[in-house]
Amino acid sequence: MKIALIIENSQAAKSQIVHDALTAVAEPLGHEVFHYGMYAPEDKASLTYVMNGLLTGILINSGAADFVVTGCGTGTGSMLAANAMPGVFCGLIIDPTDAFLFGQINDGNAIAMPYAKGFGWAAELNLQDVYRKLFEGERGLGYPKERAEIMAKNRGILKDLKAVTCNDMLTVLKAVDQDLLKAAVAGERFSEYFFANAKDQDIRAYIEGVVGR
């Protein structure tokens, strides 16, 4: 699985902590981690939580990533912005129990975490435990198990509902403020990672025009 990491500007100083925790868990399980930034507070490309959501939509809908790990001070802003995108189902995850239940019940494709609120002593251990609950074993099995069938049915209904209420990603890219879009894809490693992994040719072609490739 290709996992994208996106860090918002107010929490950029913690970028290495989050990245190290994610790779320590995900890579031994056979997953690939692609860090789309921010990497440090002084980065030229600054990502707001709104940009986190837009970038999440681009990566998921293009097939450049199978799962996105993002967040902000509380995690709520990034979660809301990500869920505004077509095809993105993002959970607000604070602890390993949240991660387990989200994986088993909702089986979404993105999480947003708080990197300021409650981010204290041994925070990196909580991050690793969260990622283990997300990426170890099979997701979507249901909890409790006797409700697995109805949970799977509801996931399908929600997916269909979102398809009706949201425009497709290419339409979003064409309609969104283009300066906002350019800023969201301005990270120093965006082009390297995105164009090596994106599968949707229409989204890929549009982004090529945005970045001047």
Two structure tokens written together for 209 = 């025009």
Q: What is the pLDDT of residue 213?
A: 78
Q: Is the pLDDT of residue 31 over 90?
A: yes
**Model confidence pLDDT, tens digit, residues 78-106:** 999 999 999 999 999 999 999 999 999 99
Q: Give the domains, in start order, of the chain with CATH numbers.
A: 2-211 (3.40.1400.10)
